Amino acid sequence: MSGLLLVAFVLVHLAGVLLAAWAPASFEMYAASLHQAVALPFLELGLLVTALSHVGLSLMKAINNRLAGNQAMLVSRRDDPWAAFAAASQAMGGLLLLVFLGLHLSQLRWPRPGAGEELVALRAVLSQPVSLAIYLAAALAVGLHLFHGGEAAHRSLGLLDPMNAGRIRKAARGMAWLVAGGFILGTLWLAYSI
């Protein structure tokens, strides 16, 4: 459930990034109204609890598997190198996303840019080659996380069966590529547009 809530946040955040790239004036109005919203601190706290829960539950699952004697070095039986890579990279990708989140918040949240200055601050961050590389790597990491997580979530919820596995896999992968591609294109547009 924590992963599904984070996916909802990622989709809303992606919409904001794309708005910044293609309708800057609308983005500034959106950002100003969002930051003045009374509910924002509660939403941010809920997002923090959800993210920490996701990390904690993932770690608990890994620890419980190890304590139960699962020492296997699993190799994917699928003839699908992307799926195998996405599954194998979950821990590293999650760590990269945590590091990125800390960097992103330190650059654009603490302190928060003033009203009408969000886009200037974002472009200043993306004008730094190291920051740009980290933002692009995070976009790929979130895509790979969703690539694997979509199918894994359905399996964890007991909704994956041989009859719907193909459709679920295609839908999850399609969303993963759209999210990663949207963040990459939006980031590059913001970094290189005038």
Q: pLDDT digit string (tens) for 67-112? A: 887 665 555 566 777 777 777 788 888 889 999 999 999 999 888 8
d(CA 89, CA 11): 21
d(CA 62, CA 56): 10
Candidates 11, 182, 12, 194; CA nearest to 119 is: 194
Spell out, as residue ranges, where the chain has pLDDT lower than 70: 70-78, 194
Residue 193 confidence (pLDDT): 84
d(CA 137, CA 96): 8
Residue 112 confidence (pLDDT): 87
Single-letter code of the amino acid located at 127: S
Residue 147 confidence (pLDDT): 86
Write the CA distances from 78 to 38, 40, 70, integer angstroms.
Answer: 48, 43, 21
> Domain residues of the chain, as ranges?
2-70+81-192
Residue 61 confidence (pLDDT): 81
**pTM confidence score:** 0.84
